[in-house]
Amino acid sequence: MSTAREDLVVMKFGGTSVEDARAMERTAAIVAGRRGRGLRAVVVVSAMAKVTDQLLTAAKAAGNGDKAGALAVAARLRSRHLDTAAQLLDEARMEQMHLALGQEFDALDDLLRGISAVGELTPRTNDLVLSFGERLSSRMMAEAFAQRGLHGAHVDARSCVVTDAHFGKAAPLEAAIESRLLEHVLPLVEAGRTPVMGGFIGATVDGITTTLGRGGSDYTAALVGGALHAGAIEIWTDVNGIMTTDPRICPDALRVKTISFEEAAELAYFGAKVLHPATILPAVQKSIPVWVLNSRDAENEGTKITAVAPHCSSPFKSIAAKKKLTIIDVVASRMLMSHGYLKAVFDVFDKYKCAIDMVSTSEVSISLTVDSNERLPEICEELGRIADVKYEGRKALICLVGEDIRGRNGIAGRVFTAVSHVNLRMISQGASEINMSFMIDEDDVEEAVRSLHRAFFTEPDATVFDVDARKAAAARVAATA
């Protein structure tokens, strides 16, 4: 194994950190700051905020034969990107960029016309449409870096991020990625350049464009950091780090100063959008610290994710919520579940490649939750041959995560007291022993999260949570009152 490149940092900037020319300026200043400290940077960017959603809309419209609708979305994207580039770049660079972006958008228009002519959107073509977001943002960001003395060098991520052909959620092929990065990206770093590549996108060994799944730019950053043995991976976003819960639900959520890989992975898996669930793995394997930082407040210390979390007197680090789940109740028609019965049930989910989030069983019934319901009618029809099946959508999973619940009594009691007014289903303490989770109706999520947050984060451990920020906010409110 080669040794770590301690002075190399992989910096990933999410959609809001490249949403317009001002955000891109801030991003350039943050990268300049790292280089000013003698660090070398590889930059991974998301598409500009909301662009992936809009490309998805365009692709769907085209798939339904709505050519005019699809092209109208693309036209709006074209002017947004050109306006942003014009604000960022000097005249000479803009002239080049105008041509480059023009070619990309012409290709997108052609593609959308083709999809609407056929009237069918395959997962493979969908990935190709979505890839434009990161291709465009990374090109613009690289040129903005070049103009600002950061020696930006654009790298098409598809030349390095090799994946399988599972369109929509492709799995990276790490050995191939490592050798491509060593060949194409490391020499740029060694020449003092700042490589800029789009996250989320990749290509098969045959060069067919793929994507890593929504939110996948974090994953790209971790793959690149892992392959290059970086000293650190920084995930730059629009909040101060991993917070005690989504600040959109609880504005008084606190920044968690340090969290373990295991806790962060659990949170991401159970719905905390701040990190893509697969992000942690490449970093864990190489013990590379991951930081979550705020590109709108670059001085804030953020959250450090490390192999071992410091001891914390508060049982939980954070509360995650995952919506749009469906509960499926499978009741055995014969009184007792016979040998092989569970396997038969799980085989049906396996057949339709439907991931199960949570399971609880009793003597005659099994309850399962799934977050994709596209194949639900077929799954339930097939299960109906061996059992009575019911399913109910619009459910949500609430998950409280913290290593310090291990071996402590009375925590579950405190959780249930906090949400005693909410109807709970399928309660589970994860096998990992670091989470407690339960299902509720989607409409109860905000209320439940706020109640739990009040119960567990009113007097949190000041060594682990940024309590000072809360005190400062309270002082500001008092001063204006």
Positions in the binding site for ligand ASP (CB under 6 A): 14-15, 46-47, 52, 133, 199-200, 214-218
Residue of 462, 346, 325, 345 lying closest to 399 (CA atoms): 325
Residue of 405, 394, 371, 379 lying closest to 445 (CA atoms): 394
Beta bridge partners of 303: 292
Could you say whether residue 198 binds Mg ion (CB under 5 A)? no
HSE, CB side, 13 Å, CA atoms: give it for residue 418. Answer: 21
Rounded distance between C-alpha atoms, residue 167 and residue 67, angstroms = 23
Residues 6+ apart with CB under 8 A from 115: 59, 62, 63, 70, 121, 125, 129
Rounded distance between C-alpha atoms, residue 114 and residue 83, angstroms = 27
Nearest approach in angstroms of CB 106 to ligand ADP is 28
Nearest approach in angstroms of CB 155 to ligand ASP is 17
Nearer to ligand ADP among residue 17 and residue 209 (C-beta): 17
Instruction: From the list ligand ASP, ligand ADP, Mg ion, none, pick the one residue 52 interacts with, judged by a Cβ distance below 5 to 8 Å according to partner type.
Output: ligand ASP
Tell me the two tokens of residue 243. Answer: 């917070």
Distances (CA, A) of 306 to 231, 253, 280: 13, 21, 10
Nearer to ligand ADP among residue 143 and residue 246 (C-beta): 246
Judged by DSSP in three states, 440 sits in strand
Nearer to Mg ion among residue 16 and residue 314 (C-beta): 16
Rounded distance between C-alpha atoms, residue 172 and residue 149, angstroms = 33
Nearest approach in angstroms of CB 459 to Mg ion is 31
Could you say whether residue 234 binds ligand ADP (CB under 6 A)? no
**252 phi and psi, to 5 degrees?**
-95, 20
Tell me the two tokens of residue 245. Answer: 């819960």
Could you say whether residue 318 binds ligand ADP (CB under 6 A)? yes
Put the strands of the sheet holding 387-401 in their side by side order: 356-361, 365-370, 318-332, 387-401, 435-441, 425-429
Could you say whether residue 14 binds ligand ADP (CB under 6 A)? yes
Residues 6+ apart with CB under 8 A from 280: 222, 261, 264, 265, 268, 290, 305
Nearest approach in angstroms of CB 215 to Mg ion is 4
Burial call 362-393: b when 16+ CB within 10 Å, e when fewer: eeeebbbbbbebebbeebbebbeeebebebee
Residues 6+ apart with CB under 8 A from 472: none
Query: One symbol per residue from 211 to 250: x for binding Mg ion (CB under 5 A), - otherwise; what is it?
Result: ----x-----------------------------------
Count the neighbouring beta carbons within 10 Å of the beta carbon of residue 248: 11
Nearest approach in angstroms of CB 347 to Mg ion is 34
Could you say whether residue 220 binds ligand ADP (CB under 6 A)? no
Nearest approach in angstroms of CB 48 to ligand ASP is 9
Instruction: From the list ligand ADP, Mg ion, ligand ASP, none, pick the one residue 152 interacts with, judged by a Cβ distance below 5 to 8 Å according to partner type.
Output: none
Nearest approach in angstroms of CB 43 to ligand ADP is 14
Nearer to ligand ASP among residue 94 and residue 320 (C-beta): 320
Rounded distance between C-alpha atoms, residue 467 and residue 463, angstroms = 9
Instruction: From the list ligand ADP, ligand ASP, Mg ion, none, pick the one residue 27 interacts with, judged by a Cβ distance below 5 to 8 Å according to partner type.
Output: none
Nearer to ligand ADP among residue 168 and residue 247 (C-beta): 247
Instruction: From the list ligand ASP, Mg ion, ligand ADP, none, pick the one residue 216 interacts with, judged by a Cβ distance below 5 to 8 Å according to partner type.
Output: ligand ASP
C-alpha 271: how far from chain center: 9
- Which one of residues 43, 142, 264, 274 is an interface residue with ligand ADP (CB under 6 A)? 274
Instruction: From the list Mg ion, ligand ADP, ligand ASP, none, pick the one residue 369 interacts with, judged by a Cβ distance below 5 to 8 Å according to partner type.
Output: none
Among the listed ranges 93-101, 114-122, 270-278, 399-407, the one in contact with ligand ADP (CB under 6 A) is 270-278
**Residues numbered 235-254 forming contacts with ligand ADP, rule: CB under 6 A:** 237-239, 242-243, 245-248
Among the listed ranges 119-127, 233-241, 337-345, 461-469, the one in contact with ligand ADP (CB under 6 A) is 233-241
Nearest approach in angstroms of CB 359 to ligand ADP is 24
Rounded distance between C-alpha atoms, residue 434 and residue 407, angstroms = 10
Instruction: From the list Mg ion, ligand ASP, ligand ADP, none, pick the one residue 199 interacts with, judged by a Cβ distance below 5 to 8 Å according to partner type.
Output: ligand ASP
Rounded distance between C-alpha atoms, residue 301 and residue 361, angstroms = 44
Could you say whether residue 272 binds ligand ADP (CB under 6 A)? yes
Nearer to ligand ADP among residue 34 and residue 67 (C-beta): 34
Nearest approach in angstroms of CB 257 to ligand ADP is 13
Per the CB < 8 A criterion, the answer to whether 186 and 37 are in contact is no
The binding site for Mg ion (CB under 5 A) comprises 14, 215
Contact set with ligand ADP (CB under 6 A): 14-16, 46, 215, 237-239, 242-243, 245-248, 272-274, 318
